[in-house]
């Protein structure tokens, strides 16, 4: 039985393969006593629903969401979608290379983006802001974690390298804003763009899947970012209080609205620019990912996207006969 990536699975074949558990639940049978195991499994190429009808409770006790499991299964079709029906499974031990094969990867050249990030750090000339940036991006261990981190668990830039990709997208937008509006404090703007999501390396952990840490759920990346930056500021002699307040205001307000997790609303022109740059990059990437995922599906429209309260147009790219 062949071991295949999820994108390569075809209806009717049997597979033995290792996949990451991205969602897990036990559900009651409708017509008989007992429960079945319902899973969402994933690898670097996509996701698939899976069901295990027999011995579900015993199997569910063997692993947790975020683990990798080795499954023996058959690919079936249910309501027009491929689905795995699992015969047997066990928890799989994974090394770093194998885990990487289970995670979605950035389509961008991460080495090139890393170089661009360091160039942007070097271009910030205000000495105190530059020192804050160096406290993070001059630390090789931090930089490695940052460049490998996802931008989110499920939404925009939810792949290895997504945090770096999103950060540089925001910075590039802000560079254009600074050219159009030279009255803005460019150094403050770029420093805010580079730092605005650094708390995500503490909010999310990378294993066979992307999962929230306890601090990520209890505190969230906005507050984690503020804590990290304030600790760095406190270690820089003579850091001006007003500059510290203006920088941390950008970080705390970048979600734009309190219902979206911002402790304060943007109250400076630079904070306003960062908020919209963050939204622009995140939303365009999300829309593009939906279109990409729908390519070849035969559908001209996506499934209903609850995040945006709308369908997204796929167009001819989703129609194999077009």
Residue among 320, 304, 184 at smallest CA distance from 246: 184
Residue among 249, 257, 259 at smallest CA distance from 225: 249
Residue among 249, 256, 262, 259 at smallest CA distance from 283: 256
Q: Which residues on neighbouring strands pair with residue 68, listed in sequence order?
A: 20, 92
Whole-angstrom distance, CA of residue 288 vs CA of residue 281: 11
CATH 1.10.1760 fits 104-286, yes or no: no
Strands 81-92 and 46-52 come out as: parallel
285, 169 Cβ separation under 8 angstroms: yes
* Domain limits, the chain: 6-98, 104-286
Whole-angstrom distance, CA of residue 36 vs CA of residue 24: 11
| Predicted TM-score (pTM) of this structure | 0.83
Main-chain dihedrals φ then ψ at residue 88, nearest 5 degrees: -140, 155
Which pLDDT tens digits describe the chain residue by residue (322 residues)? 446 889 889 999 999 999 999 899 999 998 888 899 999 998 888 889 999 999 999 999 999 988 899 999 999 998 878 999 999 999 987 665 566 678 888 888 999 999 999 999 999 999 999 999 999 999 999 999 999 999 998 778 988 899 999 999 999 999 999 999 999 999 999 999 999 999 999 999 888 788 899 999 999 999 999 999 999 999 999 999 999 999 999 999 999 988 888 899 999 999 999 999 999 999 999 999 889 878 777 789 988 998 889 999 998 755 444 3
In tens, the pLDDT along 285-307 reads 999 988 987 877 778 998 899 88
- Which contacts (CB < 8 Å, 24+ apart) does range 104-111 have? 104/42, 104/44, 104/158, 104/159, 104/160, 105/44, 105/159, 105/160, 105/161, 106/157, 106/159, 106/160, 106/161, 106/162, 106/164, 106/165, 108/161, 108/165, 110/147, 110/161, 110/164, 110/165
Q: Which residues does 249 contact at the CB level (< 8 Å), separation at least 6?
A: 264, 266, 267, 268, 271
In tens, the pLDDT along 169-203 reads 999 999 999 999 999 999 999 999 999 999 999 99
84, 143 Cβ separation under 8 angstroms: no
Which CATH code of 2.40.50.140, 3.40.120.10, 1.50.10.20, 2.30.30.60 fits the domain covering 6-98? 2.40.50.140
Whole-angstrom distance, CA of residue 100 vs CA of residue 128: 37
């Amino acid at each position: 039985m062949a071991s295949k990536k999820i994108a390569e699975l075809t209806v009717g074949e049997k597979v033995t393969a290792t996949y990451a558990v991205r969602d897990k639940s036990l559900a009651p049978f409708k017509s008989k006593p007992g429960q079945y195991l319902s899973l969402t499994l994933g690898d670097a190429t996509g996701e698939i629903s899976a069901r295990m009808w027999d011995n579900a409770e015993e199997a569910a006790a063997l692993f947790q969401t975020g683990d990798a499991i080795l499954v023996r299964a058959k690919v079936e079709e249910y309501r027009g979608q491929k689905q795995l029906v699992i015969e047997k499974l066990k928890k799989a031990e994974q090394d770093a290379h194998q885990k990487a094969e289970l995670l979605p990867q950035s389509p961008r050249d991460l080495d090139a983006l890393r170089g661009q990030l360091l160039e942007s750090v070097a271009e910030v000339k205000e000495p105190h802001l530059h020192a804050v940036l160096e406290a993070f991006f001059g630390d090789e261990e931090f930089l490695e974690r940052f460049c490998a981190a996802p931008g989110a668990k499920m939404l925009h830039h939810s792949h290895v390298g997504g945090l770096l990709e999103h950060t540089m997208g925001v910075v590039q937008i802000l560079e254009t804003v600074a050219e159009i509006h030279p009255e803005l404090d460019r150094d403050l703007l770029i420093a805010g763009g580079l730092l605005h999501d650094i708390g995500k390396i503490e909010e999310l952990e990378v294993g066979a899947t992307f999962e929230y840490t306890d601090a990520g759920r209890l505190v969230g990346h906005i507050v984690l970012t503020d804590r990290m930056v304030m600790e760095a500021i406190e270690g820089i002699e003579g850091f001006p209080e007003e500059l510290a307040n203006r920088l941390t205001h950008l970080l705390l307000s970048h979600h734009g609205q309190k219902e979206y997790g911002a402790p304060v609303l943007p109250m400076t022109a630079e904070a306003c620019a960062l908020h919209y740059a963050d939204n622009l990059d995140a939303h365009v990437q999300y829309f593009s990912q939906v279109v990409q995922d729908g390519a070849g599906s035969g559908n001209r429209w996506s499934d209903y996207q609850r995040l945006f309260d709308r369908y997204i147009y796929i167009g001819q790219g989703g129609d194999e006969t077009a």
